[in-house]
Every structure is written in C-alpha cells, then in structure tokens.
Amino acid sequence: MAMRVEIATGLIDELIALAGADPAREVCGLLFGGSGRIDGFRPAANVAADPSTTFEIDPAALFAAHRAVRAGGPSPVGCYHSHPHGPASPSARDVAGADPGQYWLILARGDAQLYHVGRDGRFDRCRTALT
C-alpha cells in the first residue's frame, strides 16, 4: 500500500508553474515538513553541468537549510525537480543520487508525482492528500 503524505494546498500548483516557467531546464529545490507531510518548498539554483538533462541543488541552499534548522527553522524532508524531456517518474540518475528516507517530487509537463526513497534506495510512489 502506498504511503500517504499530506501536502499544503497550492504547493504542487506553484511548483508546476515554476517548472513551466523554465521548460528547457530542470528546476529544483528543497521540500520542508515532517514525517508524512510537506508544508513548504524553497527553490534552489540548479548548478548541474547540463541543467537541461540533470539537476544538482546548489550546495549553498543545502547549507542554508541546515543552518536554519539549527536556528529553529523548518526541516528539509526532500527535494523536487522537473523533467522537461521525460515523465514524472524517477530516472536512472535520480535513483543513483537519492538518499534513503527522503521525499522526491518530480514534475513533468503539468504532472507531479511524489515518491519516498526507501532504505533499499527504491522509489515508492506516495498517495497525496491536500491539507
């Protein structure tokens, strides 16, 4: 049975709009929340060598997020990115670069699919509920 994850109302629509505004590049950023929920996001620069086919979240955004947690800010629970040339499903690169326990929200052509990365590195699709 798929894991159920609550997502703040409007968050997916905002991310689909961000991806649609830059259709030639993979947009990316961090997801914030807790166990079983995603409350917010923060866009990050894609610093990959070829952002049209892959993504790499700017390390400065990751460091800033972890500093914010120490100061009482929201916890990062995963990331999002777009697939401008493919479906909203994990690519081989996604699987190779994923950290267990994280949520991955993949956006493609107006679609958004949320996955949870298991301890074995497998991407399990989540059921989402808007809150």
Q: What whole-number distance in Å separates Cα of residue 91 and Cα of residue 121?
A: 13
Q: Establish whether 26 is a catalytic residue.
A: yes
Which of 6, 14, 26, 56 is labelled catalytic?
Answer: 26
Q: What whole-number distance in Å separates Cα of residue 123 and Cα of residue 104?
A: 9
Asked if residue 14 lies in contact with residue 71, where contact means CB atoms within 8 angstroms, the answer is no
Asked if residue 41 lies in contact with residue 11, where contact means CB atoms within 8 angstroms, the answer is yes
Active site residues: 26
